[in-house]
Every structure is written in structure tokens, then in C-alpha cells.
Copies of this chain bind each other. A is one copy, B any other.
Amino acid sequence: MARYLAEPDAVGIKFVEVMRALADPVRLRMLLVLADGEYHPCWPEEFLVGVHKSTLSHHFRVLREAGITRTRLEGRNYFVQLRREDLDARFPGLLDAVLGGARELDVTDAPDAADV
């Protein structure tokens, strides 16, 4: 029953696309959440604050089409996971480095935390 949404195969992952997918604050935060748990029950209300559902869906699609995530559809539930192995195989060290950088973003993008 579990269907998988369309995604590029490992060798089809293009570096520039990965970089572009990762060059967005919202998607970086999504990446952080995805990195925490393996699979993630999708779209909890507080997955991201202040982002419209359709916008979120759009970002998930960008991540998936870039080859960064895999989306499994079971019945009405969507599960998204990072494609760690594929990513690490194609671009060693990239994912970890990006996750590290994204973590600092979590701090700096709070509006009030700026220029204190």
C-alpha cells in the first residue's frame, strides 16, 4: 500500500539543485526537524510556525525533487525522511556540514535575537 512520491534516483541528484533546495531558511529548518527523527509524521500543526500548508507542501516538494528527502504515502499519512545514505554517498560531508550551519540559524533567525 505504501506508495512513494516521485524522486530522482541517487545518481540523478544534481549538486546545484541540492544547494538551491538548501538555500532557504524555511527548508533549512525543515531539514533540522527531519534530521532529528528518522521518519516524521507529517505536518503536525507546529511543524513550522507561520507558514501556510500549501507553502509547506511546496517546500517538501522542492526537497524531494532535489533528492534530499523521500516521501512515503501510507493511506492518508505522509512520512518524510532524509536520504542520508544517498546524499552522503554523492556528496560526502555536505549534509552534516549543512545541518551544523542550519543549527546556528535556529538561533539567529529569531527576530528579537537580532542586533541586541
Enumerate chain A interface residues (CB-CB to B < 8 A).
14-16, 18-20, 22-25, 28, 90-94, 96-98, 100-102, 104-105, 108
Contact = CB atoms under 8 A, between A and B. Distances in A.
A24 B97 CA distance: 18
Q: How many copies does the complex hold?
A: 2
B23 A105 contact: no
Contact of A97 (B16, B93, B102, B105): B93
Contacts of A22: 19, 23
A19 B98 contact: yes
Does more than half of chain A's interface fall in helix, strand or loop, or is it mixed? helix
A93 B96 contact: yes
B23 A101 contact: no
B101 A19 contact: yes
A97 B99 CA distance: 12
Nearest to A19: B23
A-B CB proximity, top 4 nearest: A94-B97, A93-B97, A15-B101, A23-B23
Contacts of A92: 97, 100
A8 B95 CA distance: 25
A94 to B, nearest CB: 4
